[in-house]
Amino acid sequence: MRILITGCAGMLGDAVYSEFKDDFTIYATDVNLEDTELGGLDVRSDEQVRKYVKMIGPGAIIHLAALTDLEYCELNPSHAYDVNFMGSCNMVKASNEYKIPLVYMSSAGIFDGKKQVYDEADIPNPLNVYAKSKYAGELAVLDGLKSIVVRASWMMGGGPKKDKKFVNSIIKQIRSGVKELFVVNDKFGNITYTYDLAKTIRFLLEEEMYGLFHATCSGGINRVDLTKAVLEHFGLDQEVKINSVSSSHFKQGYFAKRPPSEMLTSIKMNSAPTWQSCLSDYLNRFEWKI
């Protein structure tokens, strides 16, 4: 079966491609063509999407393309909605036309964080432009014929080259030689390990399980405890000091409103591996040169 993956240049795309490549014919695309192995596809263009899907005739679409920088989205709402909402609408139209499954990645950030933990039955209340545009895309996709929406929390994966999230940001600071870190103490969530998530996506597609699902490692955590776990793994917990601060410490650089809790649980999926085992596997998977 042919599978079309959009937004494949990112950390999740790397994991999804690796999961599917040996058993399927993959058409990996992105609007960013720095990776010469990818095909060009701008999901904002209905014409491009229709032509590409007609040309390759995929049996499924895994739609990962998104603008995920919260601050950029706040400053560029039209661009955010063009990609996250209209791009998803274009993928829905194509998947409906050819009656093929469509997988869409959504985010725990669509909740307002007033509850500690959210399951699939809870009603979203997005607080920022990114979350609002992703939720709009989610609603469009759920209206499709064969739709799978997967919500994730704090993403982790891709290694030193592709990980643009929290874990690698901590590791980069450690590698630069800092002896103290400033870490927020008022944000809670779950780790979503991209390599496990890719397996979940494959399972949902193969079992034709359509609908909405939460997929994260089990167990909630805050940023401070996650940082402690990373330092302990590398034996640096006595050498690097953690300064626990509120989110206001970083308000100049991170001004988009974020929910205090992005913790997810699932009432539809079986139990997942713990965040501790996922973190250990991830840190052992790559050479971090610390």
Contact yes or no for 14/162 (Cβ under 8 A): yes
Residue 34, pLDDT score: 66
111 and 7 housed in the same domain: yes
- Tell which of 214, 229, 249 closes a domain: 214
Residue 271, pLDDT score: 79
On whether residue 290 sits in a domain, the answer given is no
181 and 58 housed in the same domain: no
On whether residue 238 sits in a domain, the answer given is yes
72 and 111 housed in the same domain: yes
Boundaries of domain holding 228: 168-189+221-261+274-283
Give the pTM.
Answer: 0.94
pLDDT tens for the chain, 290 residues: list them.
Answer: 899 999 999 899 999 999 999 999 999 998 876 655 668 899 999 999 999 999 999 999 999 999 999 999 999 999 999 999 999 999 999 999 999 999 999 999 999 999 999 999 999 999 999 999 999 999 999 999 999 999 999 999 999 999 999 999 999 999 999 999 999 999 999 999 999 999 999 999 999 999 999 999 999 999 999 999 999 999 999 999 999 999 999 988 899 999 999 999 999 988 789 999 999 999 999 999 88
Separation between Cα atoms, residue 151 and residue 129, nearest integer Å: 17
Task: Give, to the nearest 10 degrees, the angle between helix 46-56 and helix 87-98.
Answer: 30
- Tell which of 198, 214, 230 closes a domain: 214
On whether residue 240 sits in a domain, the answer given is yes
On whether residue 60 sits in a domain, the answer given is yes
205 and 248 housed in the same domain: no
15 and 120 housed in the same domain: yes
The CATH number of whichever domain residue 30 belongs to comes to: 3.40.50.720
On whether residue 162 sits in a domain, the answer given is no
The CATH number of whichever domain residue 248 belongs to comes to: 3.90.25.10
23 and 96 housed in the same domain: yes
Residue 143, pLDDT score: 94
Residue 33, pLDDT score: 66
Task: Give, to the nearest 10 degrees, the angle between helix 194-206 and helix 11-20.
Answer: 50
On whether residue 88 sits in a domain, the answer given is yes
On whether residue 201 sits in a domain, the answer given is yes
Write the burial class of residue 171 (CB in 10 Å: 0-12 exposed, 13-18 middle, 19+ buried): buried
6 and 73 housed in the same domain: yes
92 and 233 housed in the same domain: no
Separation between Cα atoms, residue 111 and residue 232, nearest integer Å: 31
Split into its structural domains, the chain has a count of 2
Residue 31, pLDDT score: 80
On whether residue 268 sits in a domain, the answer given is no
Query: Two tokens at 155?
Result: 């993403």
Separation between Cα atoms, residue 95 and residue 60, nearest integer Å: 8
Residue 232, pLDDT score: 97
194 and 117 housed in the same domain: yes
φ/ψ (deg, to 5) at 99: 55, 50
60 and 173 housed in the same domain: no
100 and 237 housed in the same domain: no
Residue 36, pLDDT score: 54
184 and 203 housed in the same domain: no
Look at residues 259, 255, 223, 258 and name the one whose alpha carbon lies nearest to residue 242.
223
